[in-house]
Amino acid sequence: MFKITPNPPDAPFHDEKLNRAAHRAIDHYLKPSETPSSATLFAVTPGIDNETLILNSYETFSSVTTLLLDLSDDLTGKQRDVALAIHQLSELGVMLMGQVMDRGVPLPQTP
């Protein structure tokens, strides 16, 4: 009888290499490392003054609102409604951060 699939090779020369790769993949997902991994892509540098943090927050909110408005132009229906709702929330963040900056109150520095 003719088999459509061939027989596996007699000498399993890739078994050890494949086994190590499989264990690395399993360990990556099931055994979190003690050191920070590549999942920590962004971090805030300790010791940055509050003014810098507020200004960067304001710029981030402003960028998000612009991106969401551009995105909502390409969407329709429920997806557009969701994008516009997120835009409204980010615009609220812009307004709140703008209010903090307009007050000009000296901010306490973090130790």
Domain residue limits at 92: 50-103
How many structural domains comprise the chain? 1
Of 94, 51, 88, 87, the C-alpha closest to 67 is 87
Q: Do the domain assignments include residue 16?
A: no
Cα–Cα distances in angstroms (integers) from residue 64 to residues 74, 88, 99, 103, in the given order: 16, 10, 18, 23
pLDDT of residue 105: 61
Q: Do the domain assignments include residue 30?
A: no
pLDDT of residue 109: 63
Condensed to tens digits (0 to 9), the pLDDT of residues 1-33 reads: 666 776 666 655 557 777 787 778 777 767 766
Q: Do the domain assignments include residue 92?
A: yes
Q: Do the domain assignments include residue 65?
A: yes
Look up the pTM and report it: 0.52
* C-alpha dihedral sign at 76, 77, 82, 88: positive
Condensed to tens digits (0 to 9), the pLDDT of residues 60-93 reads: 888 988 888 888 888 889 988 998 899 889 889 8
